[in-house]
Structures are given as structure tokens and as C-alpha cells.
Amino acid sequence: MNDEYFIKIALDLAKQGAGFTSPNPMVGAVIVKDNEIVGKGFHEAVGKAHAEVNAINDAGLLANGATLYVTLEPCNHIGRTPPCTKKIASSGIKRVVVAMRDPNPHVQGGGIDFLTDIGVEVATGICENEAKKQNEIFIKYINTKRPFVIVKCAATLDGQIATMTGDSKWVTSEKSREYVHGLRHLCDAIMVGIDTVKRDDPALTTRLDGINCLDPVRVILDTHLSIPEEAKILGMDSNSKTIIITGDSFSKDKKKRIEKKGALVVNSPVKNALIDLDHLIDYLGSINITSLLIEGGGKVIASAFKAKIVDKINFFYGSKILGGNNGKSICNGLGPALMKDSIQIQDIDVTLFGNDVLIEGYVWPKRNMQCPK
């Protein structure tokens, strides 16, 4: 069993913190002595102990002289918790294997330098690409203060998300929809347009069996504040809030009534009669939203691509064909005249959910995704 074997175990441990650690990264750690795991830990939630601390506490005295495998460079600064490097030093750990360096430009390398200076052997870059993908949200946000944006849609094989009447239940299978609820749990916020609210009256919550999930912040694009006051998202018992993004043309009395229901109404600049999404992304980042899941509809998805705010796509295709051109397309509006001007998607993964197909990929070129080598 080599370093890669134990780092992969740490990466699996890190996944258990998915959805709970924001704005912190997901981190897993294992402690190995005489080729046996003697301690495990992961970062369970923001404000709680880091993975290294949990693993060292799990190992107890067996940490002395052992090797620590951790998916992210140990912190050497005081944040919500004390620096992990001090805990490592006091435990007697002799070697530390790190998957990826800290992407925070203000602290990167500090933990490794501290450990090296006190005589701890440090190896880096083991399963680095896997670690970077696992924390792609954190990497984007810590470098730009803008959320990582995922566009999700569910379409028929001929590219339509609903029939001519707006019926979309159900394009894909229950397995696919369960995966989407996992995405909602992972992301800080979810965004749809007002047309989706009026047509479907969605809850935009997370529902996963056996998991105490977090609901994403619900962001509704509603330029003229035309949301029905009886809309489901304005009267739910949820562990998250609803934000209505509107322009300057709306009823102030209606705003007061909506805010009494617990929603937040935020004014935003308008561009070409639509909410300026580039400005909105800056706003969401300013309120510590590190990730945004865009679920539609077609006008919102098209606007997101035009505004160049999208980092990643999750396109689900159900095993259905509408067989006409009068349904609702994934993107609603005018596209480019030439194929060479289309949006390029790279690093594609394909996953089957029964007869459904998920195409996952990244908008190219990747923007503001710096991470130290």
C-alpha cells in the first residue's frame, strides 16, 4: 500500500463533509503507522474541527511517529479554529503527505513551510487532480470571491426541457432527480427565473432519504417583482432563505408584503431588460455564497451562458423524444450565426442513471480557476 492508496481513502472521507463545510473546503485525513490506519477524520462542518485534528484525536498516542495523509495543505493561521500545524507538531507525526497545496493566495505554502522547518518530512501532489476537482468550488471562490456556477438541466434526447404546454414532469428518472438533490445539498444557492416559479411553483429544497440536508439559498430572478404572493417559496419552513432579485420597476407595497413573509428583495442593475447576471454573481459572492446551481428555465440558462458566468454543466438527457420543435428548448433566445462561435465544453464525463445520460463538463476556457501547482 503506497501514498496514493491512503490519499484516496482520505478523499473518500472528505466527501462526507459535502454540503456542510462551505465556505471552507472539504478535507479528509488518515493517520498511518506500520502500514495500518490508526486514525481517521474529516472536516464535518464550518466552525468545527479540521480533518487533521479529528484524525489525530482518533489516533491518540499512536500518532507519534506516524504519517498523516491529508487532502489539503494543513492550515498555519488562526481562523475559526486554531492552526492545524501546531496540532501536528505536538502529536509527534513525522511525515505528512498532502494531495494539494492551499489555493488561498494569502496562505498557500505556509503550512508546508512550517512543517518542513520543524523537521517534518512533507510530500505533496499525490492525487492532486482528484483533490482539485473535489474542491473546485473552494478554489474558484477563494481566488475570485465569486461563486462557482453550475448549470443543470433535464432534457429529452431532442433537446427540450418541457412540452409546448410547459409540462416537464418527468423528463428524467427518479435516480437522476435524486442526484440533482445531491447537487442542491452541495451548492450554497439555487437560481431560477420567475417564469419557472409561476409555471411550476417549485419548493427548491433538498430532499434526500436518510440525510439531514441543507436547503440552498433560493435566488429568484424577477425583474418587475411579479412573483405571486402565494408562491410556495415565500411560505416554507426551510433552513435557508429566499432572495428575490429585481430591477427598479416594482411595487414598494408588494416588496414590503413579500419581505414580511421572510424573503429578501434585492435591487440589481438591469441589462437589456434582464437582471445583470455578472453584477449578481459579484453580489452573491459578497454574501459568502460560494456556489450557485442554475436550474432554469431556458431564458435564464441562455442568459447565464451569454453573461459568461458558467463554470460547469450538468446536462441530463432522459430516454424520451418529443418529436417536434414546439417544446421548450434548453436555451431560449438567439444563438450565434456560426458554429465556431459556440460555447466549448471540455473535460467531459458521461454517467448513466438507468436509461438517463448525464453529461458533465466545463466551459472552456476555464475562468478564474487559479490553483497552485
Supply the pLDDT for residue 369.
54
Question: What pLDDT, in 10s, does the model give residues 209-238?
Answer: 777 888 999 999 999 999 999 999 998 888
Supply the pLDDT for residue 79.
64
Q: Tell me, what DSSP letter sits at residue 103? A: -
Mean pLDDT over 186-203 rounds to 93
Backbone φ and ψ of 219, nearest 5°: -110, 120
**First and final C-alpha spacing in the chain:** 25
For residue 207, name the pLDDT band (cuts at 50, 70, 90).
confident
Question: What pLDDT, in 10s, does the model give residues 70-128?
Answer: 999 998 876 666 788 989 999 999 999 999 999 987 776 689 999 999 999 999 999 99
pTM of this prediction exceeds 0.75: yes
Cβ neighbours of 143 (radius 10 Å)? 15
Taken as a whole, the chain contains a residue count of: 373
For residue 372, name the pLDDT band (cuts at 50, 70, 90).
very low
For residue 242, name the pLDDT band (cuts at 50, 70, 90).
very high
52 is catalytic: yes
Q: Which of 159, 214, 188 is nearest to 326 (CA)?
A: 159
Q: Tell me the three cell numbers of residue 45.
A: 462542518
For residue 282, name the pLDDT band (cuts at 50, 70, 90).
very high
Answer whether residue 21 shows pLDDT above 90: yes
Answer whether residue 366 shows pLDDT above 80: no
Looking at per-residue pLDDT, the higher value among 40 and 105 belongs to: 40
Distance from C-alpha of 118 to C-alpha of 42, rounded to nearest angstrom: 25
Instruction: Indicate which residue of 52, 128, 136, 295 is catalytic.
Output: 52
